[in-house]
Structure 1
Amino acid sequence: MKKIRLSFFAILLLGAVVSCSSVPEKNPALQRQWMLISFKNFSKEELVKNKAEINLTGTMEKGKIRGGANMGCNSIFFTSEFKSGGKVKISGVGSTLKACQNMELETAFSQKFDEMTNYSIEGHFLTLSDDSGNSMKFVAADWD
């Protein structure tokens, strides 16, 4: 009888440990690498040449994703929080400080990125926009 009780309590304890473990949240439609294809007056060819992208493949914790971006030179890092109703909050934007020949795209992106307040996902496209009508359009990197 003692062996049965001991086994029962061991199973209960193991179940409690498993249920309390932290399982990272995932949103496969959002947590992808996204290639920038439309932004301000930059041509699609220029964006592709610079390999302009944001990477949202990081782990989501408490609804926030630590992300990264590259616009051709410096590594850019940020925290993003995608909320219901198509709202997004981008904060903590920073970057490495390498001096590069063509910094126009990177400077423009850095100035506007954390002002984006809305998002939408339609198929393989992610669009970020602000309340003034400025937008950035991305295509999923894993989509042909």
Structure 2
Amino acid sequence: MKKAFSVIVFLIGIFFLQNCSTNNLVSEEINRQWMLIEFQNFSRDLMVKNRAQIDLASTKTTPNQYGAEMGCNKMFFTAKFYSNGTVKFSDVGSTMMYCENNMELESAFGKELPKMTKYKIDGHHLTLSDNSGNTMKFVAADWD
């Protein structure tokens, strides 16, 4: 009887550990603000001037809800990061102001973000990529 109980407890423990290890990953590595430094044919100078960034700092009140700015509107989206290096972006939207000379970057970013399916963190750099080889590269905002 004790042996059967021990086996059941062991199996329940394994089940919980397995479910926890492959679910969302919001570690300290990704949980920060990232400055966009490389995207399509946009110049790095434009991205720096516009303070183009994505904010992946999660909050307890709105988990998986994040934001971005490309120089004009506030953007918002849902993202789920997984421990196997995959990511799912959805529900991308933004405020609706018009800002001359900033709309092209913002529109392209909003269109391409949901297509990104993989992420990689290498030191202070984050790279998002899709299945076609398109990338968005970021550097941690708190990195000097």
TM-score (norm 1): 0.78
**SS of corresponding position for 1:90:** strand
* Poorly superposed stretches of 4+, deviation over 3 Å: none
8 A Cα contact 1:71 1:106, kept in partner: yes
What 5-or-longer segments of structure 1 have no aligned partner?
A: 1-24
Q: Partners in 1 of 2:128 and 2:59 — Cα distance?
A: 20
- Residue 71 in structure 1 maps to residue 70 in structure 2: yes
8 A Cα contact 2:26 2:81, kept in partner: no
The corresponding residue for 2:48 is: 48
TM superposition shift of 1:65: 2.0
Q: Partners in 2 of 1:111 and 1:60 — Cα distance?
A: 27
Count of aligned pairs between the two proteins? 119
The corresponding residue for 1:57 is: 57
TM superposition shift of 1:100: 1.2
TM superposition shift of 1:59: 2.3
TM superposition shift of 1:127: 0.3
TM superposition shift of 1:26: 5.3
8 A Cα contact 1:69 1:76, kept in partner: yes
The corresponding residue for 1:20 is: none
- Residue 33 in structure 1 maps to residue 33 in structure 2: yes
- Residue 127 in structure 1 maps to residue 127 in structure 2: yes
The corresponding residue for 2:19 is: none
Question: 1:98-132 deviations in whole A, cap 9, x for unaligned?
Answer: 01102110011011011100000000000000000
The corresponding residue for 2:95 is: 96
Q: Partners in 1 of 2:91 and 2:34 — Cα distance?
A: 19
The code of the aligned residue for 1:125 comes to H
TM-score (norm 2): 0.78
Q: Partners in 2 of 1:66 and 1:58 — Cα distance?
A: 7
**SS of corresponding position for 1:85:** coil
8 A Cα contact 1:125 1:140, kept in partner: yes
CA RMSD of aligned residues (A): 1.8
TM superposition shift of 1:27: 1.5
**SS of corresponding position for 2:46:** helix
The corresponding residue for 2:84 is: 85
8 A Cα contact 1:60 1:66, kept in partner: no
Percent of counterpart pairs with the same letter? Answer: 57
The code of the aligned residue for 2:104 comes to E
